[in-house]
A and B are shown apart, each in its own frame.
Chain A
Amino acid sequence: MYKNILQTIDHVAIWPLISLSIFFVFFIVLLWWVFTADKAFIDEMSRKPLQDGSELNHDAEPLNL
C-alpha cells in the first residue's frame, strides 16, 4: 500500500538521494575541518569553561568533610 502512496508523490525518488547527499557532504566537510583544525585553537577552546575572569572562591572545599 505505502508503495502506491509514495509513487503518487512527484519525483519522490529524489528525496532520499537529496537527504543522503546532504548528510554525506556535511559530515565529510565536518570531519575534514575537525581533523585539520589548528591545535592551538582547539586547546584554547577546550579551556574556555576554566577562564571566566571571576576570582570568587573557585576551589571551595566542603566545610565538614
Chain B
Amino acid sequence: MELEKIHYDNKIVKAFIIATVIFGIVGMSVGLLAAIQLFYPIANFDLQYTSFGRIRPLHTNAVIFAFVGNAMFAGVYYSMQRLLKARMFNDSLSWIHFWGWQLIILAAAITLPLGMTTSKEYSELEWPIDIAIALIWVVFGINMIGTIIKRREQHMYVAIWFYIATFVTVAVLHIVNSFEMPVTLFKSYSAYAGVQDALVQWWYGHNAVAFFLTTPYLGMMYYFLPKAANRPVYSYRLSIIHFWSLIFIYIWAGPHHLLYTALPDWAQSLGVVFSIMLIAPSWGGMLNGLFTLRGAWDRVREDAVLKFMVVAVTAYGMATLEGPLLSLKNVNAITHYTDWIVAHVHVGGLGWNGFLIFGMLYWVIPRMWNTKLYSSKLANLHFWIGTLGIVFYALPMYIGGVVQSLMWKEFAADGFLKYQNFLETTTQILPMYILRAVGGTLYLTGVFIMTYNLLKTAASGKFVANEEAEVAPMAKVTSTGGNWHHVLERKPVLFTVLALVAVLIGGIIELVPTFLIKSNVPTIASVKPYTPLELHGRDIYIREGCVGCHSQMIRPFRSEVQRYDPKGGEYSKAGEYVYDHPFLWGSKRTGPDLHRTGGKYADSWHFRHMLTPGEVSTGSIMPAYPWLYEQQINKDITASMINALRTVGVPYEEGYEDRANEDLDKQANRIVEGLQLEGLETSSDAEIVALIAYLQRLGTDIKLEKVATNQ
C-alpha cells in the first residue's frame, strides 16, 4: 500500500499549551488570594473588585475554563490528529477557536471583578459572553467533526468517542442552563425560578464536572497514558463499557447537589441512585488506566510523567468514590455546605485534572520541540511538592468540614444548640484555612518550577510546527458487515447523534416533570413578588457574590430550624422561591444561612455590619462593603427589570413598571428615616438601603400566611 505524507499541526497545540500555563498560574494565584482572604480579611483590600465574593467566581472560572479548558483543547488537538491520522479539518477554524476562547477568558476576567454575574455556579458569565461561548464551542465542534470525517483510520479509538460526547453534551448543558432574559447589556435574569432553576443549574453544574472536567480528560488518559507507558491500553473492552455507562449514567446524578432541599423527593432519590451506580464505570476506568502500567511499574519510579499520571488516575478514583458517598443522604446531611465539598472538588481539580495536565505537558513538549526534558530532577521535585500541596490542601479541609458541621448540629443538655453563634464554628476552623493556603502555595510553587523546566526544555530544542507523518490512506470500505458497534465506529455523525440521545434521555426524564410541577405545586398564597427596591437589593446581593458564602436554604433538620428560625420554626419550602430568578440557595456556608434573616436584626444592625463586620461581630471574617454607602442604585433600569421579570413569569401587573420607582422611593425613605432615628445618615438612593430592604424581606412571606390563618 502506498504511504501518504501528512503534517500534524503542532502550532495550534503550542498556542493552547502556552495559554494553559499562563492561565494556570493566574487562576491558582487568584485561588490563593481567595484562600488567604478567608483567614485574613484585610486581603479583601476593602475594594469591591477584589472582595471575596467576586474573586471566588474569578478563581473557579479561570481554573475550569481557562486552565483546564485550554489544556483540554491542547490535548484534544494533539491526540485527535494522530489518532485519526489527519491534520485538523481547517487551520483557520483552529485559530478562530483559539483566539475566540482567549477573548472569552479576557471578557470573564474583566466582567467578574466588575460584579457582572448571573450567580449560577460555573455559569456566572453574562448573556453576551454566553452567546460567544456557544459560537466558539460550535467552531470547535465543526473542526472536530470535520477532522473525523476526513480521517484515515477506519475506526475511531475510544478517546475520540469521549471527545465527541464532550462536545455534544457541553453544548446542550450550556444552552439549556443559559436561558435568561436580558435587562441591560450585562445583566439578565434566569428564565427559570426557584426549584426549577436549582434543578437546571445543578443538572448543568454536575455535568459540567462530568463533561468538561472528566470525559475529555478520560479521552486524554486513554491516549497519553498508553503513549507515556509505551504499551497498549489494558482492556479496550473495558474502555467501551466505561464510555457508554459513564455518559448514560452521569447525566442523571445532578440532583445529589440538592439533597434535603426543597427539591421534590423523587428527584433527590433519582440523584442518589444514579450517583451510586456511577462508582462502577468510574472505577472501571481508573483500573483500566492503572492496569495499563502492568509490567511498567519499575518505570513509574523514575519517570515523572508516569508518576503524575498515576496520581491523577488515583485521584480520579478517589474523587469518584467520594462523590457517590457524599450523595448518600445521611452523609450529605453532615457534609453539605461545609469545606468537605471544597476538599472534594480540589482532589478532583488539583489531583485529576492538574496532574494529568502536568504529565501531558512533560511528555508532549520534548516531543514537539524535538528534544529531551531539561531536568527530570526538577520534574520529580514538582511531583513531590505538588503531591504535598494536595495533601496539605485536602486534609485540613476534611477536618475543618467535619468539625464545623458537628458544631452546627450539637445540642446542649438543655435542648438548645451548644454553639448558638455561627461565628464560633467559623473561628474554630480558621487554623485549617491557614493550612489550606499553605497547601495551595506548595502546589503553585510546583507550577512555577514546571514552567521554568518547560521553558528550558523548549529553549534546548527546535519547535516542529508541522510534524511529518507517513500514513496509509483509508481503505475503501468493502465490507458493510461486522456487528453493529463496528458499523457505528465507522459512522461518526450517527455516533454523535446516538451519544446525544443517550445524554438527552437522562436530562429530559429528570427535568420535564419538574417543569410540569410549575402549574401543580401548591403555592403559598402569601408569597409575593419582590418590591422594586428589594429587586435592586437582590441584584446587589448577586453582584457581590454573597451566595458564595451564604445559603438561602434551611434544611428540615431540628438543628437548622432552631438555628435559623428559632421563633417561627420553619424550614425552607419550595413555594417560597417561585419568584426567585435566579435561585440563590447557595452551596457553601462560610457564613450563616440567610433565608430567615428578614426581621431578625434591625436595619441599623445591617447598616453597621456591612460597613465594619469585624466590629459588629467580633472575629468575623466577612469583608467590609464600604462602597455600598457611596454608590447609588440605577433607578433608570427599574422599569426594564420589572419588564424582564414579567416576561419570565413574575406577575407584576401591566403598567407597574411606570409606577415602580414611586414605590421604590417610598420604601427607601422609610428605611432612611428609621436609620436617622438611630443617628445613621444615608441617602435613600444608596445601595446599602436597597440591600437592607432585600435582607429584611428574606423568608418573611411565609410568616404572613401564619398570621392570616391564625386570624
What is the distance, in angstroms, from B452's C-beta to the closest C-beta of chain A? 13
**Complex CA–CA separation, A50 to B231 (angstroms):** 7
B268's nearest neighbour on chain A, judged by CB, is A2
Q: B467–A34 contact, CB under 8 A?
A: no
**Complex CA–CA separation, A59 to B377 (angstroms):** 18
Chain B contacts for A62, CB-based, 8 A: 366, 372-376, 379
Taking CB atoms and an 8 Å cut-off, the chain A residues in 29-60 that contact chain B are 29-31, 33-37, 41-43, 45-50, 52-60
Q: B237–A19 contact, CB under 8 A?
A: no
Q: Bits for B1-15, please: 1 = Cβ < 8 Å to A, else 0.
A: 001001010000000
Interface hit among B239-247, B328-336, B346-354, B643-651: B239-247
Q: B521–A63 contact, CB under 8 A?
A: no
Q: A9–B82 contact, CB under 8 A?
A: no
**Chain A facing B: main interface SS:** helix
Known A26-B248, A47-B232, A58-B367: A53·B85 in contact at CB below 8 Å: yes
What is the distance, in angstroms, from A58's C-beta to the closest C-beta of chain B? 7
Chain A contacts for B484, CB-based, 8 A: 29, 33
B371 within 8 A of A: yes
Q: A57–B377 contact, CB under 8 A?
A: no
Partner of B240, one of A34, A43, A59: A34
B663 within 8 A of A: no
Chain A contacts for B460, CB-based, 8 A: 63
Q: B483–A57 contact, CB under 8 A?
A: no
A1 within 8 A of B: yes
Q: B376–A56 contact, CB under 8 A?
A: no
Partner of B226, one of A5, A22, A49: A49
Interface hit among B52-60, B512-520, B689-697: B512-520
Q: B155–A37 contact, CB under 8 A?
A: no
Chain A contacts for B522, CB-based, 8 A: 1
Partner of B370, one of A1, A50, A57: A57
What is the distance, in angstroms, from A17's C-beta to the closest C-beta of chain B? 11
**Complex CA–CA separation, A5 to B521 (angstroms):** 7
Taking CB atoms and an 8 Å cut-off, the chain B residues in 317-374 that contact chain A are 366-367, 370-374
**Complex CA–CA separation, A24 to B223 (angstroms):** 30
Interface size on A, residues (CB 8 A): 45
Q: A46–B236 contact, CB under 8 A?
A: yes
Partner of B83, one of A5, A41, A49, A54: A49
What is the distance, in angstroms, from A4's C-beta to the closest C-beta of chain B? 8
Q: A63–B372 contact, CB under 8 A?
A: yes
What is the distance, in angstroms, from A47's C-beta to the closest C-beta of chain B? 5
What is the distance, in angstroms, from A37's C-beta to the closest C-beta of chain B? 7
What is the distance, in angstroms, from A6's C-beta to the closest C-beta of chain B? 7
B505 within 8 A of A: yes
Q: B240–A50 contact, CB under 8 A?
A: no
B685 within 8 A of A: no
Q: Bits for B70-87, please: 1 = Cβ < 8 Å to A, else 0.
A: 000000000100110100
B252's nearest neighbour on chain A, judged by CB, is A19
Chain A contacts for B467, CB-based, 8 A: 54, 56
Known A60-B371, A60-B372, A64-B374: A49·B227 in contact at CB below 8 Å: yes
Chain A contacts for B486, CB-based, 8 A: 41
Partner of A48, one of B6, B153, B373, B502: B153
Chain A contacts for B370, CB-based, 8 A: 56-57
What is the distance, in angstroms, from A20's C-beta to the closest C-beta of chain B? 11
Q: B265–A23 contact, CB under 8 A?
A: no
B485 within 8 A of A: yes
Q: B83–A56 contact, CB under 8 A?
A: no
Known A15-B509, A50-B227, A56-B464: A33·B374 in contact at CB below 8 Å: no
Q: B237–A42 contact, CB under 8 A?
A: yes
Known A54-B468, A62-B376, A64-B377: A12·B513 in contact at CB below 8 Å: yes
Chain B contacts for A49, CB-based, 8 A: 79, 82-83, 157, 159, 222-224, 226-227, 232-233
Chain A contacts for B85, CB-based, 8 A: 52-53
A64's nearest neighbour on chain B, judged by CB, is B375
Chain A contacts for B233, CB-based, 8 A: 46, 49
Chain B contacts for A15, CB-based, 8 A: 509, 513
Chain B contacts for A36, CB-based, 8 A: 483
Chain A contacts for B235, CB-based, 8 A: 46
**Complex CA–CA separation, A53 to B85 (angstroms):** 8
Chain B contacts for A53, CB-based, 8 A: 3, 6, 82, 85, 469-471
Chain A contacts for B248, CB-based, 8 A: 23, 26
A36's nearest neighbour on chain B, judged by CB, is B483
Q: A48–B244 contact, CB under 8 A?
A: no
Can you give 23 contacting A-B residue pairs, CB < 8 Å? A4-B520, A5-B517, A19-B509, A26-B244, A33-B483, A34-B237, A35-B237, A36-B483, A37-B483, A37-B485, A43-B232, A46-B232, A47-B232, A49-B82, A49-B233, A52-B82, A54-B8, A55-B469, A58-B367, A60-B373, A62-B375, A62-B376, A63-B375
Q: Which 6 pairs show the lowest CB-CB distances between chains A and B?
A: A52-B82, A53-B469, A62-B376, A46-B236, A46-B232, A53-B471
Interface residues of B (CB under 8 A from A): 3, 6, 8, 79, 82-83, 85, 153, 155, 157-159, 222-224, 226-227, 230-233, 235-237, 240-241, 244-245, 248, 264-266, 302, 366-367, 370-377, 379, 460, 464, 467-471, 483-486, 502, 505, 509, 513, 516-517, 520-522
Q: List 6 additional A-B contacts (Cβ < 8 Å) besides A37-B483, A56-B468.
A: A45-B155, A45-B158, A49-B157, A52-B82, A53-B471, A54-B82
